[in-house]
Amino acid sequence: MKDIGLVGVPFSGKSTLFTAVTHAGSHVGQANLAVVPVPDPRVDVLTQMERSAKTVYAQVRFVDVPGGLSSAQGVARLREADALAVVVRCFGTDASPASELAGVRADLLLDDLAVIETALQKAEKRARGKPGPDVSALHKAKDALDAETSLRSAGLSAEDAAVLRGFAPLTLKPEIVVANLEEGSSVPGELGDAVGVYAAIEAEVADMDPQEARALLEEFGVTEPGLEAVIAACYRALDLITFLTTGEDETRAWEVRHGATAPEAAGVIHTDLQRGFIRAEVIGYDELVAAGSMDHAKAAGKVRVEGKDYLVQEGDILHVRFAV
């Protein structure tokens, strides 16, 4: 499960967005956390097809912290997040989305610079004239931040990035931009590929029956609920894909990084499966649906046997064989 930290200036609507996407109320003065299922109709189809006793969706946790970047507690909690969603106000006659986004990013840079400078001083003191990889990585990070460049865009090597992750810099985390829109508006061109969400409208229907809420949102012209749009953008930013397992006991969706091998995906299910991995029986979601059931797919020879080098694909359905 990944944590998505919500970031925004006061009155950007980030707490309203939290309510809209999580259907949970926000509380002033404390961190708001809510775990939500990742919408995935494939899970429902497989549950029905295999008559599964249990259905489990993948999950993400949204974090809305009090005070945001003006609070030490808020920054500390954001450093624990896997990705950041920067909420930008795009409603009201005085809205200035591009400058607001630039301001938030500048604050993120300054927070990181303070952390990196302190860490560099300590690392140099420990090194005593014999700088190691940590000193080198911290120097590169400081140079980038001094040049007002986020660590995501600094061209860091994998080794340097691995060192820096120990300090949880905010600008090294994947970032998505969420344009908080008003009815009838669209994402401003200056925000590029930002995700558009009508947070105020969606927050109003958060407590309604999901089908009724969706129908009402469509009347307002909202064809993709904010939760689905934000999660999809976060998955892209985090380079995640979804694989599934299904059977009589349970149908479940799992997240794994793009390019993961079959044993690595097995380890997401349970570490024993990765340690004792023998092979995986694999079929694509569309192939299974076309076959009508797993038994029919196996009878038709549609289920493949893959080994340790197999790279899991989006929508793969896996059954792992292992021995410990």
Strands 59-64 and 2-7: parallel
Instruction: Decide if 150 contacts 108 (C-beta within 8 A).
Output: yes
User: Of the ranges 31-40, 61-70, 101-110, which one carries the lowest mean pLDDT score?
Assistant: 61-70
pLDDT of residue 68: 59
Checking if the pLDDT of 71 tops 70, the result is no
Could you report the per-residue pLDDT of 201-212, keeping only the tens digit for each?
Answer: 888 777 777 777
Strands 175-181 and 195-197: parallel
Phi, psi of 176 (to 5 degrees): -120, 155
Q: Which of 56, 50, 84, 47 is nearest to 69 (CA)?
A: 84
pLDDT of residue 30: 64
CA trace torsion 238, 29, 168, 11 (10° rounding) = 60
Average pLDDT over residues 170-196: 92
Sequence-ordered list of residues with C-beta below 8 angstroms from that of 94, at least 6 positions apart, any chain: none
Instruction: Decide if 65 contacts 5 (C-beta within 8 A).
Output: yes
CA distances from 259 to 119, 255, 265, 284 (A): 33, 12, 10, 16
Sequence-ordered list of residues with C-beta below 8 angstroms from that of 274, at least 6 positions apart, any chain: 263, 264, 266, 267
Phi, psi of 119 (to 5 degrees): -65, -40
Which domains are delineated in the chain? 1-39+59-113+149-239 (3.40.50.300), 259-322 (3.10.20.30)
Q: In whole angstroms, what is the distance from residue 92 CA to residue 86 CA?
A: 18
pLDDT of residue 22: 85
Could you report the per-residue pLDDT of 93-102, keeping only the tens digit for each?
Answer: 899 999 999 9
Checking if the pLDDT of 236 tops 90, the result is yes
Instruction: Decide if 186 contacts 171 (C-beta within 8 A).
Output: no
Q: In whole angstroms, what is the distance from residue 161 CA to residue 61 CA?
A: 24
Average pLDDT over residues 22-50: 84
Instruction: Decide if 74 contacts 32 (C-beta within 8 A).
Output: no
pLDDT of residue 69: 63
